[in-house]
């Protein structure tokens, strides 16, 4: 597909449309090795485009992981409260990234952001069978009876039926929870129903993709192709 060069450069998320135009006019942009100085020039979407000698990623669909901090809403922008979209760096704002599913305001850890709606739908659908792994701190500790109830598939007080889930006590108030679905406050409600209220909750993994331990709280980074595939590979059996 042919696209205007300035639009293609802005689509990389690293430059605004006007910055892209300036860079092209200044002779800083090459397409397939040749300098192009007309921003309106139509080029192939898959072309090798370099700005200042550096190759641009021009794929339209992009995938990121965010290490969500507590105190931030998983929502589009909010006038009163900070949201995960406020954590997206300026140069990536043009990509129209959206969160994949939701974490509660006080939940931390792995949240995916993408502009690929079909991918987001696939990750969230219980039909995909993707396991989400959470680390929870409860008071008191979970016990063998809780593990059995999780495995059986719990019914919550309001009649909500949950799919069978995994639970593993780690001692010291900590446990790992494995769920295939993302019902409202699901992990908290399941543990609360067993008399084990959640004091802290962190998502560690989605499928076989684990939160990067090097990624600081509130920081995001692009996923590698292999990591995208890992999401759909099952890391844990229930
Ligand atoms: N379950 C919850 O209760 N909260 C979250 O944020 C995610 C899963």
In the reported structure, the alpha carbon of residue 136 is separated from the centroid of ligand 1 by a whole-number distance in angstroms of: 10
Domain 61-238 classification at class level = alpha beta
| Encoded tokens for 113 | 């952001």
Does residue 236 surpass a pLDDT of 60?
Answer: no
Question: Tell me: the pLDDT tens digits for 44-78?
Answer: 877 889 999 988 876 678 899 999 999 999 987 77
Give the residue from 184, 187, 182, 137 showing the smallest Cα distance to 166: 187
Which stretch of DSSP H or E encloses residue 182? Answer: none
Report the share of the chain in percent with pLDDT over 90. 67
Does residue 187 surpass a pLDDT of 80?
Answer: yes
CB-CB contact of 154 with 133 (8 Å): no
What's the topology of domain 2-55?
A: 3.10.290
In the reported structure, the alpha carbon of residue 107 is separated from the centroid of ligand 1 by a whole-number distance in angstroms of: 7
What pLDDT is attached to residue 54? 87
| 186 CB within 6 A, ligand 1 | yes
Print burial letters for 96-132: b (CB count within 10 Å at least 16), e (below 16).
ebbbbebbbeebbbbbbbbbbeebbeebbeeeeebbb
C-alpha–C-alpha distance, residues 36 and 32, integer Å: 10
Every domain of the chain with CATH number 3.30.2350.10 lies at 61-238
| Encoded tokens for 142 | 């979970």
- End-to-end, the C-alpha distance of the chain in Å comes to 44
Q: Which of 53-57, 104-108, 186-190 has the lowest mean pLDDT?
A: 53-57
Phi/psi region, residue 150 (left: phi>0; alpha: psi -120 to 50; beta: rest), is alpha
Which stretch of DSSP H or E encloses residue 14? Answer: none
Minimum-distance ligand 1 atom for the alpha carbon of 132: 8
What pLDDT is attached to residue 114? 94
Minimum-distance ligand 1 atom for the alpha carbon of 182: 8
In the reported structure, the alpha carbon of residue 140 is separated from the centroid of ligand 1 by a whole-number distance in angstroms of: 19
Average pLDDT over residues 7-33: 88
Active-site option among 6, 52, 86, 104: 104
Going by DSSP bridges, is the β-strand pair 108-114/198-206 parallel, antiparallel, or unpaired?
parallel
What pLDDT is attached to residue 219? 96
Average pLDDT over residues 140-147: 98
| Encoded tokens for 159 | 């009649």
C-alpha–C-alpha distance, residues 228 and 222, integer Å: 10
Give the residue from 127, 132, 62 showing the smallest Cα distance to 97: 62
Cα–Cα–Cα angle for 71, 213, 82, nearest 5°? 20
CB-CB contact of 142 with 193 (8 Å): no
What pLDDT is attached to residue 232? 87
In the reported structure, the alpha carbon of residue 214 is separated from the centroid of ligand 1 by a whole-number distance in angstroms of: 23
237 pLDDT tier (thresholds 50, 70, 90): very low
Question: Tell me: the pLDDT tens digits for 195-227?
Answer: 999 999 999 999 999 999 999 999 999 998 889
Average pLDDT over residues 231-235: 74
238 pLDDT tier (thresholds 50, 70, 90): very low
| 107 CB within 6 A, ligand 1 | yes
C-alpha–C-alpha distance, residues 176 and 163, integer Å: 16
What pLDDT is attached to residue 235? 46
Which stretch of DSSP H or E encloses residue 209? Answer: strand 209-210
The runs of H, that is alpha helices, within 81-215 are: 117-124, 144-152, 186-193
User: pTM of the prediction?
Assistant: 0.79
C-alpha–C-alpha distance, residues 23 and 27, integer Å: 7
**For this structure, is 104 an active site residue?**
yes
Question: Tell me: the pLDDT tens digits for 151-181?
Answer: 999 999 899 999 999 999 999 999 999 999 8
Mean pLDDT score of the chain = 91
Every domain of the chain with CATH number 3.10.290.10 lies at 2-55
């Amino acid at each position: 597909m042919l696209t205007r060069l300035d639009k293609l450069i802005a689509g990389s998320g690293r430059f605004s449309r006007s910055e892209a135009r300036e860079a092209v006019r200044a002779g800083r942009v090459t397409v397939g090795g040749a300098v192009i100085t007309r921003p309106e020039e139509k080029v192939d979407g898959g072309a090798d485009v370099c700005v200042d000698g550096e190759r641009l990623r021009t794929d339209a669909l992009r995938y990121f992981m965010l290490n969500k901090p507590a105190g931030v809403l998983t929502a589009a922008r909010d006038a009163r409260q900070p949201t995960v979209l406020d954590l997206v760096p300026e140069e990536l704002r043009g990509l129209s990234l959206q969160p994949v599913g939701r974490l509660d305001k006080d939940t931390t850890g792995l949240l995916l952001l993408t502009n690929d709606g079909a991918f987001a739908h696939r990750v969230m659908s219980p039909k995909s069978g993707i396991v989400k792994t959470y680390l929870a701190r409860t008071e008191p500790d979970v016990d063998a009876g809780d593990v059995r109830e999780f495995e059986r598939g719990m019914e919550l007080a309001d009649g909500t039926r949950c799919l069978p889930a995994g639970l593993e006590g780690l001692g010291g108030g900590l446990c790992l929870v494995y769920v295939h679905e993302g019902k409202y406050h699901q992990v908290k409600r399941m543990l609360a129903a067993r008399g084990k209220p959640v004091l802290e909750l962190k998502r560690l993994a989605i499928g076989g993709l684990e939160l990067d331990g090097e990624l600081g709280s509130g920081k995001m980074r692009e996923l590698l192709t292999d990591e995208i595939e890992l999401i759909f590979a099952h890391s844990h059996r229930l």
